[in-house]
Amino acid sequence: MDDILNTGNVPYISEASVSVEIETEDMTLNIGPQHPSTHGVLRLVAKVDGEKISSVEPVLGYMHRGYEKLAEVRTYPQITTLVNRIDWVSGFANEIPFIAATEKLMEIEAPERAKHIRLILTEMARIASHFVFNGAYALEIGALTPIFLAMEDRERILDLIESVTGGRFHPNFNRIGGVKPAAGSGPTTKKNVQDLPAGFYQETRDAMEKVLEAVERMEDLVGGNEVFKARTKGVGIISKELAEEYGVSGPILRASGVKFDLRTQTDFLPYDKFEYEIPVGENGDCYDRWYVRLLEMRESAKIILQAIDSMPSGPLQTKVPKVIKVPKGRSYVRTENPKGEMGYYVISEGGLGPYRLKIRTPSFSNISILPVLLEGQLLPDLIAIMGSLDFVLGDVDR
Amino acid sequence: MIDGSQILVTAGIVLAFALNGAVIFTILDVKGASWMQRRPGPLHVGLRGFIFPLAEIIKFFQKEDITPTNVDAPVFKWAPAYVLASVFGLFVVVPISPTLVGSDLELGVFYLLAISSLSTLGVLTAGWSSANKYSLMGGIRAAGQLIAYELPLILSVVGVVIQAETMSLVGIVEKQIEFGLPFALSGQGLAFLIFMIAATAEMMRVPFDMPIGESELVSGFLTEYSGVRFLIFYIAEYMNMFVLCAVASTLFLGGYHVPLLPPEWVNFYGPVVLITKTVLLGFILVLVRWSFPRFREDQLQNLAWKVLIPLSLLNILITSIMKVVF
């Protein structure tokens, strides 16, 4: 014992220090493609030091279905069937920009009534999509109850969409120059034009009341929860500058404090006729992203109620040739999808189908911010941040 | 004198009590969930949902018991049994009446607190031996959580021990009968609250279910388990929930005693009273579970070290002063 103390290297015990550095290395953790919180088949290759993430790399393409290529060998009316399936949570909203781009090339315009119906269904798709987000986000944070309530509430909206279009997820309802004569309203005669199903207005009013109730309840159950606040406030902050640099759009951009909503700029759908507010966040954290979407549901319900009250009468379609040929040219139309900015770039060579179709999807651009946002975060925060971006893998990979 | 057959009979009765507790709490949890979430299944199907636990057990027996290739097989296979055994050990000292108790130890509280932290070792080994990164993280989270909640759990009980002047659980109940009020209403209310929070963390239930965390760690240490071994973990979880609620009602709510009933009949109504109190506490846990999200691991550590431990120390201080003054 004396020998050890008197070696002379360490004169005083108090000056001794542990000189051995424990060698540690980061563990590679594959999050996905099969993971309950990656919304499908996103894969994140994360380097983690304990619970802390040192770097993360998203790996995409597990769900690539080649819709841009498939569109080249299809006619214009057939393509609406494809684009339904890009973001399946809000199928109807996907059709709108494509139809708008095509109609712009053909220089035709849908009748007012068709435009109103398109608007109502788009807003319904937005509500349905945000319901899914609300439920799923709470589930990812760890609360199990909200998703059951949200799914039940969403079902009412899907029922309404189904009663008009015949499909819950894939309505395939838009036609170039108008909308499809609605299902469930009997055969077309000269006197009886196929239109919205009987009782649709009243059912919609009831459903929107329920949506407003559900939003209140969600605000209480999830937003008022201290644990939820602790998990989301101040987590995953996207500053205004960062959001603009990375081209994120939709509710994520607005949560960062940028008041930018394509609904105010588009003339394709008659949004300018209605009064609504654009909710904007302050901090750009996960809580704001959740809250902006919740408020948007309320505004969407208000828009739908106004649209129901001011529904114009008239035909559902303009005159279009039986075989649709689009004149040579190019057009790009972008609209406000529930998840952000969605755009279609159509290049026509004058044939039955497009020469090239480029699809700009919101989720793909939105998750490009993930590596920056996730660096240095904890693993539970990764889930919270990823969930708050609200992406759909079909929308990322298309 | 205690002979072998008496030990066997006692163990059998305690085991039956423990399994019944697990079944009661499974029904309570599932029915609470479906009531809050408007799920028709467990409320209306099959004798109003009461045969649900039976169906659950049969389901798990039908499934294949998979042992993945790279796991540390002996540890992996024995970890569930270890967890179950350590939870079962807790039941031995819980009195359901002054005489109906597995073993009324002099150091009952001490034994209880020592045994209750053993199950974490089983969880840690389950996570470690699974050869899965998610399981490993779950196991380590469980171990980290143990350090956080074990101290407030112990410190909150110290107040009760000081007030009761005994560590025997029967003695603690008798003291409350003598005093006329349960400890939760006579000085240990704060300790009761701290105990329940720490016990929730010990049970790994929402909002402290980070070691399981299905949306983060894909069920953590349970990821690789299936079939009967998963069922054992499942039963152990509910048994643990039951016994901790029973302990809480014994320490703080007067256990098997209820006023106005004749004390000489306590062997008959004691079990009913205790189980009723336990179920009421369990119902609160069910409400919490189905309405709260999950904390982050560091938030639990903050809560434990900066709030619960100082509060429980304060509780001990106040209890000691009151004890000296009166």
Interchain contact, B293 vs A149, CB within 8 Å: no
Question: Among B186, B230, B185, B192, which Cα is nearest to B212's?
Answer: B230
Tell me whether residues B295 and A227 touch, CB distance under 8 A: yes
Chain A contacts to B (CB-CB under 8 A): 27, 29, 35-37, 51, 138-145, 148-149, 152, 221-222, 225, 227-228, 230-231, 378-381, 383
Q: What are the structural domain ranges in chain B?
A: 4-325
Residue A80 and residue A99 in contact, taking contact as beta carbons nearer than 8 Å: yes
Structure ipTM over 0.85, yes or no: no
Closest C-alpha among B246, B227, B236 to residue B203? B236
Q: State whether the Cα torsion A360-A362-A363-A364 is positive or negative.
A: positive
Pairwise CB contact (< 8 Å): A379 & B292: no
Over residues A214-270, the pLDDT tens digits come to 999 888 888 888 888 888 888 888 888 888 888 888 899 999 988 888 888 877 888
CA distances from B104 to B183, B240, B275 (A): 20, 20, 19
Distance of residue A148 Cα from the nearest chain B Cα, in angstroms: 6
The pairing of beta strand A43-49 with beta strand A52-59: antiparallel
The answer, yes or no, to whether residue A25 has pLDDT greater than 80, is no
Beta strand ranges found along chain A (DSSP E): 27-31, 43-49, 52-59, 174-175, 178-179, 329-337, 340-348, 356-360
Tens of pLDDT, residue by residue over A308-341, are 888 887 777 788 888 888 888 899 988 888 888 8
Q: pLDDT by residue (tens digit) across B60-101?
A: 888 888 888 888 888 888 888 888 888 888 888 888 877 777
Residue B267 has a CB neighbour count (10 Å cut-off) of 13
Nearest CA in chain A to B297: A380
Out of B33, B39, B209, whose CB is closest to A142?
B209
Residues of chain A positioned with their CB less than 8 A from the CB of B33: 144-145
pLDDT at position B4 is: 75
pLDDT for A187 equals: 56
In a domain, A1, yes or no: no
Handedness of CA A237, A240, A244, A247 (dihedral sign): positive
Yes or no, beta carbons of B38 and A148 under 8 Å apart: yes
Q: Is residue A33 part of a domain?
A: no
Asked if residue A18 is part of any domain, the answer here is no
Angle, helices A145-165/A200-218, rounded to nearest 10 degrees: 160
Task: For residue A227, give the nearest of B33, B216, B293 by CB distance.
Answer: B293
The contact set of B with A (CB < 8 A) is: 33, 36-39, 133, 137, 206-207, 209-210, 213-216, 218, 289-299
Taking the CA of residue A341 and the nearest CA in chain B, the distance in Å comes to 28
Q: Torsion over CA of B311, B314, B315 and B321, rounded to 10 degrees? A: -170
Neighbours of B119 (CB within 10 A): 27
The Cα B277–Cα B272 span in angstroms is 9
A138: closest chain B residue by CA = B293
Range scoring the smallest mean pLDDT among A292-306, A379-393, B90-104, B105-119 = B90-104
Angle between helices B266-289 and B4-37 (to 10 degrees): 40
What is this structure's pTM?
0.84
Q: Shortest CA distance to B288 belongs to which of B171, B192, B203? A: B203
The number of folded domains in chain A is 1
What residue ranges of chain B have pLDDT lower than 50?
Answer: none
Domain with residue A74: its CATH number is 1.10.645.10
Q: Which range of residues forms the domain containing residue A314?
A: 67-397
The alpha carbon of residue B233 is apart from the nearest alpha carbon of chain A, in Å, by 20
Q: Which of B218, B290, B299 sits opposite A144 (nearest CB)?
A: B290
Q: Could you tell me if residue A332 is inside a domain?
A: yes
Amino acid A16: pLDDT: 54
Residue B190: what residue type? L
Continuous H helices in B96-213: 108-116, 118-129, 133-164, 169-179, 189-203
Distance (Å) from the alpha carbon of B314 to chain A's nearest alpha carbon:
25
| Contact yes or no for B293 and A51 at CB 8 A | no
